[in-house]
Amino acid sequence: MKSKTDDPVIKVVLADDHVVVRAGIHQFIEQAGGMQVLAEASNGKEACELIQQLKPDVAVLDIQMPGMTGIEVTRWVRANHLTVGVLVLTAYDDEPYVQAVLRAGANGYVLKTSDPAEIIQGIRDVYHGKSVLDAGLARKIIEKLAQQEDLTPLEPLTDRELQILGLAAKGYTNKAIAVQLGISDRTVQNHLANIFQKLNAESRTEAVMRAVSLGLISATIADTGARLK
């Protein structure tokens, strides 16, 4: 087993239009150890340029930025099939914002009011392929989804899909799921694509929340992976 000192440094691009906020986040990311802020962006277009140029492991984005919003940057990242993880760090806790971020394909949504340790852990979780969502926001969205009448999957999930979704909810990466089930990474990806389509979801976090609302998996299972507490 590798020690923490053997782990690769997580490379981060930070985007926020407020200089003071960027400076504060930059400082505690660097102080956390095992992370490096490659560059800072003050607007969405600059964030896209830096992400394309520097290829960071994780992009930490504010929602409201000049030029392009964090949601638009996230859509751009996914449309260009970039492997960077996206963590949205924002002061907005409104459900429509969260839904829009998740549908854009972000890996996580953390509030700026969170403790620095939670934000650091969020970056690490996104780097390791996990979904991250503030616990209070998760509750709001699950309750909202539970009130909707059109949540029924387009078609039932198979036993294998439920098994994979359960492991994804626990925070397992595609590779870890593949090892656990004795199948290939590509097979896991194909199953997840089918799950997203059936649940009308754009991301792991959204799929997990919809599955919890439908009673397909329990919130307890999801606690360790998507932080649905």
pLDDT 10s digits, 18-62: 999 999 999 999 999 899 999 999 999 999 999 999 999 999 999
* C-alpha span between 193 and 77 (Å, rounded): 18
pTM, entire model:
0.66
Q: Decide which of 37 and 8 is more confident.
A: 37
- CA-based nearest residue to 72, from 50, 44, 43: 44
Give me the pLDDT at residue 174, please.
Answer: 84
With a cut of 70, say whether residue 151 has pLDDT above it.
no
Give me the pLDDT at residue 225, please.
Answer: 46
14's CB contacts (< 8 A; 6+ apart) are 22, 25, 26, 29, 37, 39, 40, 41, 60
Let me know: does 55 contact 30? Beta carbons within 8 Å: no
Give me the pLDDT at residue 43, please.
Answer: 95
Q: How confident is the model at residue 171 (pLDDT cuts 50, 70, 90)?
A: confident
- CA-based nearest residue to 57, from 37, 43, 32, 29: 37
Give the largest Cα separation in the chain, rounded. 50
pLDDT 10s digits, 53-101: 999 999 999 998 998 999 999 999 989 989 899 999 888 777 777 778 8
- CA-based nearest residue to 139, from 84, 212, 89: 212
Give me the pLDDT at residue 199, please.
Answer: 85
188-215: b or e for each residue (b if 16 or more CB lie within 10 Å)?
beebbebbbebbebbbbbbbbbbbbbee
Domains for the chain: give ranges and CATH numbers: 4-128 (3.40.50.2300), 143-226 (1.10.10.10)
pLDDT 10s digits, 193-225: 899 888 888 777 778 877 877 777 765 444 444
* C-alpha span between 94 and 141 (Å, rounded): 10
